[in-house]
Amino acid sequence: MNAAHPKRLLLLTSKLGYQSRAFAEAARGLGAEVLFATDRCHQLDDPWQDAALPLHFERPAEAAAEIVRAAARAPIYAILALGDRPLAAAAHAARSLGLPYNSPESVEAARNKLRQRQALRAAGLPVPDFFSFPLTEDVEHVLPRVPFPCVVKPLMLSMSQGVVRANNAVEFRAAVARIRSLVQSPEVQVTREEGLDRLLVESYLPGAEVALEGLLEGGRLRVLALFDKPDPLEGPYFEETIYVTPSRLPAAVQDAIADCAQRSVVALGLTRGPLHAEFRVNERGPWVLELQPRPIGGLCARALRFGSQHMPLEELLARHALGEDVRGLEREAAAAGVMMIPVPRSGILEGVERLEEAARVPGIESVEITARLHDYVAAWPEGSSYLGFVFARDSGPDGPAAAESALRAAHALLRFDLRARLPVEHPASHRMTHG
């Protein structure tokens, strides 16, 4: 890369956090310039001093026009979107700039859970039975169509936020009321996402759950890692915890998952860049839960290293976005695992104890607490962020099992002080809320 004229990578992200910094550092280490584009308030005068473009991700065509104007001042060589919300804006901008990326149509089909289900079903992919209904519809009119057990979810939220299992009519009514309260909350409404006025109902799929991390080039999928999720995700909520790779599933099952992912990619029309996909696997084979054309979230990318130099996933994806050939880089032989530290109950985080002891558990590489002290942390199904992450690695013959055991041992040591949020009276309405 010519140091006098470095390539410029545009990183679109909903917020500038640990994941954004890791990708930016990787790109700069390759000699690239980095421009951030975020959905921060455009009226703030660069509060973080990072010269980020303020965009409205819920209006992707307008966001793309802002990016094109920025590119006229300083050319953009490549685009990479982190998280779900920036995906459509990235696709529209790439099309306008003539940059290689997924089409806006494919991204928008993937982003909306209902559209994705419809596209996959039309292509003959294995998906659960489903239907959608508006929040304004009387629940009693919906009930005759509901297959029990079922899963109820919003169309646009991610990280299993608002996803609830219901086994009967009583639980279904409660689930709909709870999800309605969530999507109508100020915190969700401020995103102005399309589809917040509808819910999706799916038949519940039994089985083990896996996550696939992949890379697309010309519509062909390369599987970078397949993670087992050893904790049963049976509801009523679906907060994730442990990921371990390599998978311990039989080779034939892993091949079937990869084939299902490839056919799903074709059905959605995705062609390039990172892919994160979720599947349920039972005696009938793999079932598609969701695919998104973006990297794995949070700090989970730290669990993956590639090549003899142990290149992090962020660098591999940055190299690919910048046009480098990364086909020869394979995941390391050692087993790796990450625990997304679950939120046991909603509350204000006042302290974390026994952190050092947890970090000293054999096989543990690090324990990272990402929730901020004195901030409110919501448990699932309202929650969408974890207390932190624990990382383990093991190169022995029983590596995946050992990494999983280390994660569980470290987590068992941690103690979180979560205090209830006290109700306060709003000065204008005199209604009691939680401050």
* Digit-coded pLDDT (tens) for 281-325: 999 999 999 999 999 998 999 999 999 999 999 999 999 999 999
Average pLDDT over residues 233-248: 96
pLDDT at 2 > cutoff 70? no
Q: Which amino acid is at 355?
A: L
According to DSSP, residue 374 is labeled T
**Can 129-203 and 335-435 be said to share one CATH topology?**
no
Taking the mean position of all CA atoms in its chain, how far away is CA 200? 19
Looking at every residue in the chain, the average pLDDT score rounds to 92
Model confidence at 131, pLDDT cuts 50, 70, 90, reads very high
Would strands 8-13 and 78-82 be described as parallel, antiparallel, or unpaired? parallel
- Residue 40 pLDDT greater than 70, yes or no: no
CATH class, domain 8-102, is: alpha beta
Q: Name the pLDDT band for 158 (thresholds 50, 70, 90).
A: confident
Res. 44: pLDDT tops 60: no
What's the Cα-to-Cα distance from 189 to each of 366, 431, 435, rounded to whole Å?
36, 20, 19
274/244 Cα distance (integer angstroms): 19
Q: d(Cα 144, Cα 160) in Å, to the nearest integer? A: 25
- Contact in structure between 245 and 400 (CB atoms under 8 Å): yes
Confidence at residue 423, expressed as pLDDT on a 0 to 100 scale? 63
List pLDDT tens digits, range 383-400.
989 999 999 999 999 999
Task: Indicate if the pLDDT at residue 434 is higher than 60.
Answer: no
What tokens does 435 get? Answer: 């401050």
pLDDT over 70 (residue 134) = yes
What is the per-residue pLDDT for 18?
A: 74
Please, are residues 92 and 71 in contact by the beta-carbon 8 Å criterion?
no
Fold of 129-203: Dna Ligase; domain 1 (3.30.1490)
Mean pLDDT along residues 337-351: 97
Residue 52 has a pLDDT of 87
pLDDT band at 51 (very low <50, low <70, confident <90, very high): confident
Confidence of residue 191 (pLDDT cuts 50, 70, 90): confident
Q: What is the mean pLDDT of residues 356-382?
A: 96
Instruction: Provide the pLDDT for residue 19.
Output: 85
Q: Which residues contact 377 (CB under 8 A, 6 or more apart)?
A: 343, 346, 347, 348, 349, 371, 383, 385, 387, 418
Mean pLDDT across 31-45: 76
**Record: fold of 335-435:** D-amino Acid Aminotransferase; Chain A, domain 1 (3.30.470)
Residue of 231, 240, 236 lying closest to 278 (CA atoms)? 240
Angle between the N-to-C axes of helices 87-97 and 60-73, in degrees from 0 to 180, rounded to the nearest 10: 50
Query: What single letter denotes the amino acid at residue 148?
Result: F
Where do the structural domains in the chain lie, given as residue ranges?
Answer: 8-102, 129-203, 335-435
Q: What is the pLDDT of residue 50?
A: 56
Alpha helices in 184-312, H assignment, sequence order: 186-189, 251-268
- In the structure encoding, which two tokens stand for residue 339, read together? 């625990």
Q: Is the pLDDT of residue 353 over 90?
A: yes
Query: HSE-up of 388 (CA within 13 Å, CB side)?
Result: 22
**Residue whose C-alpha is closest to residue 233's, from 193, 177, 299, 278:** 278
**Mean of the pLDDT values across residues 259-265?**
98
Confidence band of 183 (pLDDT split at 50, 70, 90): very high
Each residue of 64-81: pLDDT tens digit?
999 999 999 999 999 999
Q: What is the mean pLDDT of residues 354-381?
A: 97
Residue 245 has pLDDT above 60, yes or no: yes
Rounded mean pLDDT, 150-170: 95
Residue 75 pLDDT: 96
- Confidence bin at 435 (pLDDT 50/70/90): very low
Task: Tell which residue, 82, 43, 120, has the closest CA to residue 286.
Answer: 120
Nearest to 114 by CA among 226, 211, 200: 200
Q: How much is the pLDDT for 47?
A: 39
Average pLDDT over residues 238-258: 97
Residue of higher predicted confidence among 16 and 186: 186
pLDDT at site 429: 45
